[in-house]
Amino acid sequence: MDLGIRGKRVLVTGASQGVGRATAMSFAREGCKVAVIARRREKLREVLEEMGGEKEGHSFYAVDLLEDGAPTTAIKELTANKQPFDVVVHNVGGTLQVRDPLSPMEEWCRVWRFNVGIAIEINGLVIPPMKARHWGRIIHISSIGAEFLQGSGPYAAAKVYLNAYTKILGRAVAPTGIVVSALMPGAFHAEGGHWDHARKTNPGMIEDFLRHHQAIGRLGSVEEISPFALFMASQWVTFATASVVPVDGGTM
In this structure, the answer to whether residues 64 and 107 fall within a common structural domain is yes
In this structure, the answer to whether residues 233 and 119 fall within a common structural domain is yes
pTM here?
Answer: 0.95
pLDDT in tens, 165-197: 999 999 999 999 999 999 999 989 887 777 777
For residue 51, give the CATH number of its domain.
Answer: 3.40.50.720
What HEC string does 188-246 produce?
A: EECCCCHHHHHHHHCHHHHHHHHHHHECCCCCEEHHHCHHHHHHHCCCCCCCCCCEEEE
pLDDT in tens, 41-75: 999 999 999 999 999 999 999 999 999 999 999 99
Task: Looking at 64-202, list the stretches that DSSP marks H as alpha helix, in order from N- to C-terminal side.
Answer: 70-79, 105-112, 118-133, 145-148, 153-173, 194-201
In this structure, the answer to whether residues 137 and 205 fall within a common structural domain is no
Beta-strand runs (E) in 15-66: 33-38, 59-62
In this structure, the answer to whether residues 129 and 209 fall within a common structural domain is no
In this structure, the answer to whether residues 49 and 146 fall within a common structural domain is yes
Number of domains comprising the chain: 2
Q: Note whether residue 136 is domain-resident.
A: yes
Q: How far apart are CA 234 and CA 237, in angstroms?
A: 6
Q: Note whether residue 251 is domain-resident.
A: no
In this structure, the answer to whether residues 154 and 199 fall within a common structural domain is no
3-class state of residue 150 by DSSP: coil
User: Whole domain around residue 213: which residue ranges?
Assistant: 191-221
